[in-house]
Amino acid sequence: QKEVEQNSGPLSVPEGAIASLNCTYSDRGSQSFFWYRQYSGKSPELIMSIYSNGDKEDGRFTAQLNKASQYVSLLIRDSQPSDSATYLCAVNAATGANSKLTFGKGITLSVRP
C-alpha cells in the first residue's frame, strides 16, 4: 500500500512567522510531488509542484524535496491569516494514463493575527 504521511496537526503560528509543513511517502518510485491548499467547504487548489531534489520557491512558498529520505516539505514565509487552510501533500508514482495522485490526510494550519 503506497502511503503518504503528513505530520499531525493542527498547526498554529502567529502572523508573520514561518509555517513548516512536512510529508513523507513510501513509494521510492514516486516522481512528482504536489502541495494543495483547501479552504473549508472548497475544493483543493494546487499551490506548488516539485519534481527534483532541492528547493523550489514561488513567492512566499518554498517546496523542498529529498528523494533519498522520501521527504517533501512546504515552507510558508510571512504567514498571513489568509493562509489558514488545510494543506494536502500529494504524490504521483505512476506515469501517463496510469497517473494517480495519492494524498496525505492533510494538516490544518491556523495563522493567528
Q: DSSP letters along 22-71, please?
A: EEEES-TT--EEEEEEE-TTS--EEEEEE-SSEEEEETTEEEEEETTTTE
Cβ of residue 105: shortest distance to other proteins, in angstroms?
A: 5
Query: Does residue 25 interact with other proteins by CB under 8 A?
Result: no
Nearer to other proteins, 41 or 113 (CB): 41
- Give the one residue of 32, 56, 61, 75 binding other proteins; rule: CB under 8 A: 32
C-beta of residue 87 within 8 angstroms of C-beta of residue 23: no
The pattern of x and - marking residues 55 through 84 that bind other proteins according to CB under 8 A reads: ------------------------------
Report the C-alpha gap between 58 and 60 in whole angstroms: 6
Nearer to other proteins, 15 or 52 (CB): 52
